[in-house]
Amino acid sequence: MTPLTESGALSHVSGVCFKIGPPRLVGVEVEWFVHDDRCPGKPVRPELVHAALESLPLGGPDGASLPSGSRLTLEPGGQVELSSPPATGLLACVEDTRRDLTALRAAFAAQGLRLTGTGTDPLARPRLMVLDHPRYLAMERFFDSAGPWGRIMMTGTASVQVCLDAGDADGPQAVERRWRLTHLLGPVLVAAFANSPLLDGRPTGHRSTRQTVWSRMDPTRTLAPEPDHGDPREAWAQYVLDAEVLCVRRPEGLPWTAPPGLTFRDWVRGGGERPPTLGDLDYHRTTLFPPVRPRGHLELRMIDAQPGDGWVVPTALVTALLDDVPAAEAALAALEPLGRPDGPRPPRSDVWRRAATLAVADPELRRATLTCFAAADAALGRLPGAGRLRAAVAEFAERYPARGRCPADDQLDALRSGTRRTPPEEAAP
């Protein structure tokens, strides 16, 4: 086997993580907490979750196939993640995902279970690791060495992740331009869709507790890459090699624990118990969690899970702003003042922290958010057949950012009034 060299590793990462071409495909990954209202203070019995998954076509907890081809996975804390197949355009993505979510909700309802869309589990119930795969055991040990944040992330958070093509080699849809826009857009997405003000049944003082948790984890795998590299492919390749190794795959029965402090660059240079392979490098990439993760496409990871079909609005907003050139121009003009060339990288920078804590109650973020929603509204008006999506985005803008509110405020209002213990699963927009 040919040894993996440092230059070979850099070349491989920069080549596979950004697929160049005209933007065309859209995907979304939506995560849900599972609640049993018959005993809300206790973890859901695993056999009920498995029964729900196994009732789906080709069912099973390791990846059930749904009517439109979405895949299901279980997260370490029992969260359920639905990953849509890549669709040609926004409308097809939303239609496919809605169809599969209908089947998923019905399967869980048949077991007396409910899917709850919120960025952190709002209930005061034990957070348990329900998966014993060596990857997750290694993750647990790795993160536990630096405080509680990794365990909270693994067992108590959920998100909406929007996936779009990386972009062209040059022009108005160039990779560099879309990469920059996604990072500038990040604080607006955190603020507008903040939906995790509670943890263990209590307010945390943050509208997006989930984002705050991510900002406190291992910086080598959760911060954005250094901005001083002109080419995002180079920046990402360096980032991958500089990240600490979280786990080393070993034969069955052996733990996957990695040596403390070992970066992948160290491993390539001779550290570790054996030389790394290309497969080790590709697996290492799956353990990195920056706000925007390139996986051939761009995966935006900063959005809290939303109630009901609330995932539709961030999916439509992001797609409209990135794939419509005039909307992208308007968004960049509004977002440029938020960016700071110095200081900590996202999500530890000042504007990201304000987004997680104050959301759109912050005047600067509110102005930028409303401009981005207006640009997306115009873009959706230019997209044939998008009338329903445009109305959903406009309704969200009026209900939340126009009033200085975000979905987290609904949870806090409900907690103060004592009307309900978990967020409602609202009707689809």
Interatomic CA distance for residues 198 and 313, integer angstroms: 22
Please state, in angstroms and rounded to a whole number, the distance separating the CA atoms of residues 62 and 217. Answer: 27
Q: What 3-state DSSP class applies to 159? A: strand
Give the model's confidence band at 340: pLDDT under 50 very low, under 70 low, under 90 confident, else very high: confident
pLDDT in the model for residue 266: 98
Output DSSP code: residue 332.
H
Query: In which residue are the tokens 């067992």 written?
Result: 155
What was the pLDDT predicted at 85?
95
35: β partners: 114
CA distance 218 to 327: 34
Confidence band of 429 (pLDDT split at 50, 70, 90): very low
- The predicted structure's pLDDT at residue 131: 86
* CB of 277 closer than 8 Å to CB of 245: no
Q: 12: Cβ–Cβ under 8 A, 6 or more apart, which residues?
A: 278, 281
The span from the CA of 341 to the CA of 339, in Å, is 7
Query: 383, 382, 367, 376: which is closest to 334 by C-alpha?
Result: 367
- What average pLDDT does this structure show over 290-310? 98
Instruction: Specify the pTM.
Output: 0.95
Q: Spell out the residues 6+ positions from residue 414 whose beta carbon is closer than 8 angstroms to its own.
A: 420, 423
CB within 8 Å of 155: residues ≥ 6 apart: 76, 77, 78, 127, 128, 129
β-strands 87-88, 71-74 pairing: unpaired
Measured between alpha carbons, how far is 392 from 394 in angstroms, rounded to an integer? Answer: 5
What is the residue-averaged pLDDT of the chain? 93
| 321 has pLDDT over 90 | yes
Q: Please give the average per-residue pLDDT across 301-326, as a whole number.
A: 98
Query: At residue 312, does pLDDT exceed 60?
Result: yes
Half-sphere exposure of 26 (CA within 13 A, CB side): 21
* pLDDT digits 0-9 by tens, 92-131: 999 999 999 999 999 999 999 999 999 999 998 888 888 8
Instruction: Tell whether the model's pLDDT for residue 225 goes beyond 70.
Output: yes
Q: How far apart are CA 113 and CA 46, in angstroms?
A: 11
Can you tell me the distance from the alpha carbon of 227 to that of 137, in angstroms, rounded to the nearest whole number? 33
Query: What confidence score (pLDDT) does residue 418 get?
Result: 84
Q: Is the pLDDT of residue 60 over 60?
A: no
For residue 79, the tally of other CB atoms under 10 A from its CB is 23
- Quote the radius of gyration of the chain (alpha carbons, Å): 21
